Amino acid sequence: MPTDGTPPAAAGDPWYATEELARFLKLDPSTLRRWRTARPSQDPPFVRLSGRAVLYSAADVRQWLAERRTVSGQAA
């Protein structure tokens, strides 16, 4: 259970590899890699399984997208 107040990924919620998430977001995988190394990080929360293996929780991606949603005509 996370201790930082973030909800855990739901059991059975899918996880995406960098390439899969890039396809979903219509981005090049190198964009996600660049965002991960930026300080502060610009990409959705991720889990690093090894030096090259990174996974993104579908729940985290949904929340990350919702936080960046802009509605026309509303103050930013």
- Let me know if residue 22 belongs to a domain: yes
**pLDDT of amino acid 72:** 83
Q: For residues 53 and 47, what is the distance between their CA atoms, to the nearest angstrom?
A: 8
- Domain extent, residue 51, equals 15-67
pLDDT in tens, the chain (76 residues): 454 555 555 567 899 999 999 999 999 999 999 999 899 888 899 999 998 899 999 999 999 999 999 988 766 5
Sheet holding 54-57, edge to edge: 15-17, 54-57, 47-48
- SS3 category, 31: helix
Q: Is residue 9 part of a domain?
A: no
* Per-residue pLDDT at 1: 41
Q: Report if residue 58 sits inside a domain.
A: yes
The rounded distance, in Å, linking the Cα atoms of 2 and 8 is: 7
Residue 29 resides in a domain: yes
Q: Are 26 and 34 in contact (CB under 8 A)?
A: no
Say what the pLDDT of residue 52 is.
85
**Which CATH number fits the domain that encloses residue 24?**
1.10.1660
4 is a domain residue: no
This prediction has a pTM of 0.75
Q: How many domains does the chain have?
A: 1
pLDDT at residue 6, rounded to an integer: 52
The answer to whether residue 3 is domain-embedded is no
